[in-house]
Amino acid sequence: MNCKRCHHTDEAHSKNEHSDSLIKAGECQIPTCTCRQYVDPIQEIDEELL
């Protein structure tokens, strides 16, 4: 799945050691990317359904 903000894959973002949740993923590890927090695109879909 790709980050809504920077469009890099979730694997490119640092993982929180205490959680496997994609929502808790940290900054992008791509050297030229300035994204500081993984944004899950599914969250936007969920909000539309409410």
Check residue 45 and give its pLDDT.
59
State the Cα–Cα distance between residues 39 and 1, nearest whole angstrom: 10
State the Cα–Cα distance between residues 30 and 4, nearest whole angstrom: 15
Check residue 40 and give its pLDDT.
83
**Domain boundaries in the chain?**
10-49
Q: Cβ contacts of residue 26 below 8 Å, gap of 6+? A: 13, 14, 15, 16, 36, 37, 38
State the Cα–Cα distance between residues 27 and 50, nearest whole angstrom: 28
pLDDT band for position 1 (50/70/90)?
Answer: confident
Check residue 42 and give its pLDDT.
74
pLDDT tens per residue, range 2-49: 999 999 998 999 876 655 555 678 899 999 999 999 888 776 555 566
Amino acid identity at 13: H
